[in-house]
Amino acid sequence: MPKILFYLKASLSSTCGPTTTTTIPTTTTGFSVNDAIAVGCSDIGWNIRVDISRLRQTLPGIRTSDIYLGENSCIGLEENGALYFRQGLRECLTSETIINDAMVYTNELVYAQHDPVYSFVIRQFNWTVAVECDVMNNESATGEYHHAIAKPSIAPVSGAGHHSVNLTFYQDANFLSPLPGNPIHLPTGTDVYVKVFTLSSDWTVKMHVHTCYTRPINVLSDDQNYFLIQNGCEMDANTHILSQTAHETRFVFKDFVYTSDGAGIKVKCDVTFCDSHDVSRQCTQTCN
């Protein structure tokens, strides 16, 4: 599955005067600020964790209210000795751009020193952490069933995540009755209704299902892939795309049996996530 990559770059800054070259403070055991920060995200939002308990080993007087994401109002939630930032990817002055095959979101985690009386006044910036989240635009969903028979830098921090994509089988054309059982058992020749969808509530991003194919359950290689949909086109006489929206595609195909393996088949769909205004060929719900 395509991944979301994160990049963390921290630096020291000052409200006036030239940029310093002071190193990030560490403890006698070598613990530094980057050891207390873990960065993650999903297609829903940021998931940044700051270990306040460990951070206070380096900065004993640090206050959680002095740490914010992007803008002063975007503060974290302190839970069990850690500070969490779970704001949306389009909140808190987060910047967004498209680079190659990824949506790139950037922001800064800031540790500022506020005036003890006038909290809206910042007296000094202690350090800034540049945070980047690269959301890859390609994803996959799989289901299966059985037949009835610049400043002083802190070391980078990385993580992984993905868009949420789901694939569900139904037994009726109204998509009201999911096929029961796990694994699902079907007689050969049954019409199988498939819904491929994302749970994301972000309507600035659309999902394009470009390829769906089957494979015997017990086969790992691609040499027995049978395409139902390819490049947005129906490739099988018994496969029909029923509807397509920004976050959901529905289609139907007729179940069949592989001569090499009658145990069942696996259905996999590959999708691409695009900006909702992107009308390029790879982001358009048409047959190419």
Can you tell me the mean pLDDT for 216-245?
A: 90
Fold agreement between 4-136 and 140-149+163-283: yes
Higher-confidence position of 118 and 158: 118
- What's the whole-model pTM score? 0.54
Give the pLDDT confidence of 107-131 residue by residue, as tens digits. Answer: 888 888 877 777 777 778 787 878 8
Three-class SS state of 36: helix
The DSSP output letter for 57 is H
At residue 44 the predicted structure's pLDDT band, cuts being 50, 70 and 90, is confident
Query: In Å, what is the CA distance from 180 to each residue of 144, 169, 185, 186, 190?
Result: 13, 9, 8, 10, 14
Res 276 pLDDT > 50: yes
Half-sphere exposure of 16 (CA within 13 A, CB side): 2
Report the pLDDT value the prediction gives residue 21, as an integer from 0 to 100: 30
Residue count (the chain): 288
Higher-confidence position of 279 and 5: 279
What would the two tokens of residue 66 be? 């002095």
Report the pLDDT value the prediction gives residue 145, as an integer from 0 to 100: 56
Report the pLDDT value the prediction gives residue 219, as an integer from 0 to 100: 81
What residue segments make up the domains of the chain, in order of their start? 4-136, 140-149+163-283
Give the pLDDT confidence of 260-274 residue by residue, as tens digits. Answer: 776 788 899 988 888
Can you tell me the mean pLDDT for 79-94?
A: 89
Query: In Å, what is the CA distance from 217 to each residue of 22, 23, 253, 261, 265?
Result: 58, 55, 17, 8, 5
CATH number of 4-136: 2.60.40.3210
- Residue 203: phi and psi, rounded to 5, are -85, 5
Token pair 């600035």 in the structure block, residue: 204
Mean pLDDT comparison of 45-59, 110-124, 238-252, 271-285, highest-scoring range: 238-252
Res 46 pLDDT > 50: yes
Handedness of CA 210, 216, 222, 225 (dihedral sign): negative
Report the pLDDT value the prediction gives residue 143, as an integer from 0 to 100: 59
Give the pLDDT confidence of 192-221 residue by residue, as tens digits. Answer: 999 999 887 778 888 889 899 998 888 888
What would the two tokens of residue 24 be? 């990030």
Q: Which amino acid would we find at residue 103? A: M
Give the pLDDT confidence of 12-43 residue by residue, as tens digits. Answer: 332 333 333 333 444 444 556 667 788 887 77
Higher-confidence position of 242 and 81: 242
Res 258 pLDDT > 80: yes
Report the pLDDT value the prediction gives residue 152, as an integer from 0 to 100: 36
Give the pLDDT confidence of 126-153 residue by residue, as tens digits. Answer: 878 788 887 776 666 665 555 554 333 3
- Residue 163: phi and psi, rounded to 5, are -70, 150
Yes or no: say if 253 and 239 are a contact pair by the CB < 8 Å rule: yes
Report the pLDDT value the prediction gives residue 83, as an integer from 0 to 100: 92
Burial 220-242 (b: 16+ CB within 10 A, else e): eeeebeeebbbebebebeebebe
Report the pLDDT value the prediction gives residue 251, as an integer from 0 to 100: 95
- Residue 55: phi and psi, rounded to 5, are -65, -30
Going by C-alpha positions, the residue among 213, 221, 214, 220 that lies closest to residue 258 is 214
Report the pLDDT value the prediction gives residue 239, as an integer from 0 to 100: 94
Three-class SS state of 152: coil
At residue 157 the predicted structure's pLDDT band, cuts being 50, 70 and 90, is very low
Token pair 């029909």 in the structure block, residue: 240
Domain 140-149+163-283 is of which CATH architecture?
Answer: Sandwich (2.60)
Give the pLDDT confidence of 51-82 residue by residue, as tens digits. Answer: 888 888 777 788 888 899 988 889 999 988 89
Res 242 pLDDT > 90: yes
- Partners of 263 in beta bridges: none
Report the pLDDT value the prediction gives residue 260, as an integer from 0 to 100: 75
Going by C-alpha positions, the residue among 249, 237, 253, 273 that lies closest to residue 197 is 249
Res 173 pLDDT > 90: yes
Three-class SS state of 100: coil
Q: How far apart are CA 14 and CA 43, in angstroms?
A: 33
